[in-house]
Amino acid sequence: VKRSILEVAVDVPLPTVYDYLVETEEPPAPGVRVAVPFGNGRRCGVVVGHRVAAAVAGAKLRGVETILDERPLFDAEHLAFLRWAADYYHHPLGEVLGAALPVRLRRGEAALPLGEAGWRLTAAGASVDPAHQRRAPRQAAVLAQLREHLGALGHGTLTELLGACTPTLRALRAKGWVEPCRVKDPPPGVALPEEAGPELTGEQRRAVAAMMPAVAGFAAFLLEGVTGSGKTEVYLRLARAVLVQGRSVLVLVPEIALTPQLVRRFTRRLGDCVAVLHSGLADREREVAWQKARLGAARLVIGTRSAVLGPLANLGLVIVDEEHDPSFKQQDGFRYSARDLAVVRARRARGGRGCPVVLGSATPSLESLHNAGAGRFVHLQLHRRPGAVMPTLALLDIRDQPLEGGMSRVLLQALEQTLAAGDQGLVFLNRRGFAPVLACYDCGWLSDCPRCDARQTLHATSGLLWCHHCGAQRRAPVRCPQCGAHDLHPLGQGTQRLEETLAGRFPGVPLIRIDRDATRRKGSLERLLNVARAGNAALLVGTQMLAKGHHLPRVTLVGVVDVDGGLFGADFRAAERMAQLLIQVAGRAGRGDATGRVLIQTRYPDHPLLRTLVQGGYPAFAAAALAERAAAQLPPFAFQALFRAEATKPDDPRAFLEGVAALTIELRVPEVEAWGPVPAPMERKAGRYRAHLLLQSRGRPPLHSLLRRLLPAVRALAGSRRVRWSLDVDPVELL
């Protein structure tokens, strides 16, 4: 028996790795989980290295309690990548490794045995379409789950997903559709389905041809393709080529629920080697997918943000779809950008030889366009939309216009014509609820949130006042809480109110509202979209949920009710977000055989960026916006790190950040400027006061070397215990 000293990263918000003693023949390798005593408790940690015993001789070390894995869960390349990420974002390694693990493994539970007893589809069962089993919904559900999971599932996972289902399984077995089995990994070399897919357009062919030679090493591509130009087809060809070579593929998407079409296409075309990894999965399901990716049984992983931290055996290609989407940035805890890490992961893949990464979007982020301009990314474009024309954009000046429920006469008439032609109209407003505020006309009372510097939104169907920032709810009062008058009025527009106005104006026309409230129940989004796809004349009302990749072939007119909020947002990225959202919404129009029209209501028809967007499209807008950023020395022409602090006492966050600012001055790094501290744009949120300190530099290295020296001193600051604070490297939101 040998005594060894292990370096263990423990999942706690502290920046150190800890030494523990272990007495075994063979000490556990890096990447193995161990249970260790920590403080007065017990924690799960990951071995990240071994120490030479002499270096810590004499120190009193505690022993490892249990070695949890026989083999490492992280291989050397994966571990090195996560170490890099922890270092870059200045975040504790233990928490980064924790974020990369499925929940059960993170808690220290034993890994699920992959050879678990379970059930699989027989050949007869595989040919049954669950959708046709209406009269036996339980059986249909079991069949659908088995199909989704490569034809086989463990008994435990099935029960977790569907509840107890032994009688259902017995019935299915009697029909000869399922049989018991041990759930094993499919062999790594599963054959790809034959289907070749549609013929490529000239542009698609050129894009594929430009990328194909790069599959041997690292290369970054920005694939800018207008909505409907067929970026997915390009992804599929590339993925297929990489899979054929026996390597694996990672596809990152903003939100699985909003991109079911993309997921379905990958699954249909590339078949059994696809695993989907996202937070909507049950814990066990997620762990199985994670393990399959680690063992190389799932060779194409489609996932949201956190999938970039997961294991991938023999990585050969990374794709980030809708790369501009802000949801790729984690907004709490370990605040990483999945898009940026995707590029790093591709560069470090295959022992440093690298693999290609493709960032795709109809509206690329200014960061990525800047990287393309500087030659770091290869810029490929798809301008044409096969079989359809791009929609036309026009501004509607609504100054001095009478509005009906926020909509001008011109917009309402255009909707009427669209309906008369048997087409569909889409009315876009990025604000759910009935009205953003309830007001008393007698005394001026407003429905302020008691916990935030914000108003509570009125939700008419539930009769609630609801704060969209902290979630606080209360019954909407009938009389003014301040003066008792009955003169309460909703002010402004939300999607529920638009729906009500349109229902009054166009009686008998089917109305489909799509926002978070209308799609809370599982499957409801798909159901609403199917109604829209199947129907004839109809009106759709929705928030940005409608802007994502849904195909709505019957929509020929899009009305944007209010674009002005995006022109003057507190965040310097507000205009970029507004433009991206507008172009994405516009992309819904005219995807079938009809040309689309987009009418944008504004009180600022002369706003330069808005005019540029409408006249020159997104590329012209992006060029103008980048020039503005360069002139103002803002990202991507500068690098930022944001300290946020919050506390229940109003003065504490500011006092703490003043201490941080003083420390940065002491460190004397002239390339880095410190702005603040200032109150956050919404100073009070959920009952806590918040302040910001922004550090900015022309270059990355001075900023990061400053942070490295600064953080130990910040942790030791006297006020650091009175506030909750965090550091956000490359913040994408300054709110």
Would you tell me which residues interact with Zn ion (CB under 5 A)?
440, 442-443, 445, 449, 451-452, 467, 469-470, 472, 480, 482-483, 485
Distance CA 374, CA 579 (A): 23
Closer to Zn ion by Cβ: residue 452 or 710: 452
Cβ proximity to Zn ion: between 242 and 452 the closer is 452
Please state the closest distance from residue 479 (CB atom) to Zn ion, in A. Answer: 8
Query: Distance between CA atoms of 600 and 393, rounded to whole angstroms?
Result: 7
Cβ(436)–Cβ(492) below 8 Å: yes
Terminal-residue alpha carbon distance, the chain: 56
Question: Token pair of 517, please?
Answer: 């409230």
Nearer to Zn ion, 294 or 469 (CB): 469
Q: Identify which of residues 425 and 433 has a Cβ nearer to Zn ion in the complex.
A: 433
Supply the minimum distance, in Å, between the C-beta of residue 658 and Zn ion.
Answer: 27
645 φ, ψ to 5°? Answer: -135, 145
Q: Which is nearer to Zn ion, 483 or 667 (CB)?
A: 483
Q: Are 323 and 361 a contacting pair, CB within 8 Å?
A: yes
Q: How far is the CB of 466 from Zn ion (least distance, A)?
A: 9
Instruction: Quote the tokens at residue 281.
Output: 């999965």
**In 3D, which of 625, 688, 216 has the Cα closest to residue 449?**
688
Q: How far is Cα 487 from Cα 478, in angstroms, rounded to an integer?
A: 9
Residues 562 and 69: their CA atoms lie apart, in Å, by: 55
Closest approach of Zn ion to the CB of residue 450, in Å: 8
The label of the residue with tokens 């028809």 reads 605
Which CB sits closer to Zn ion, 120 or 455? 455
Question: Do 63 and 35 touch, CB atoms closer than 8 A?
Answer: no
Give every strand in the sheet of 724-729, ordered side by side: 672-685, 688-697, 639-647, 724-729
Cα separation, 89 vs 543, in Å, equals 32
The minimum distance between CB 455 and Zn ion, in angstroms, equals 9
* C-beta closer to Zn ion: residue 239 or 440: 440
Residue 141 or residue 465: which is nearer to Zn ion going by CB? 465
Cβ atoms 120, 151 nearer than 8 A: yes
CB nearer to Zn ion: give 28 or 433.
Answer: 433
Give least dist CB 446 to Zn ion, A: 10
3-class DSSP assignment, residue 220: strand
CB of 293 to Zn ion, least distance (A): 39
Q: Min. distance of Cβ 441 from Zn ion in angstroms?
A: 8
| Closer Cβ to Zn ion, 56 or 443, answer by number | 443
Name the minimum Å distance from CB 647 to Zn ion.
17
Q: How far apart are CA 129 and CA 146, in angstroms?
A: 12
Among residues 160 and 448, whose Cβ is nearest to Zn ion?
A: 448
DSSP class of residue 63 equals B
CB-based contacts of 648: which residues, under 8 Å, 6+ apart?
A: 687, 688, 689
For the CB of residue 239, give the shortest distance to Zn ion in the complex, in Å. Answer: 43
Minimum distance of Zn ion from residue 462's CB (angstroms) = 17
| Eight-class DSSP state of 294 | H
d(CA 423, CA 272): 39
Cα–Cα distance, 302 to 289 (Å, whole number): 10
Where would I find the H helices in 431-572?
495-505, 524-534
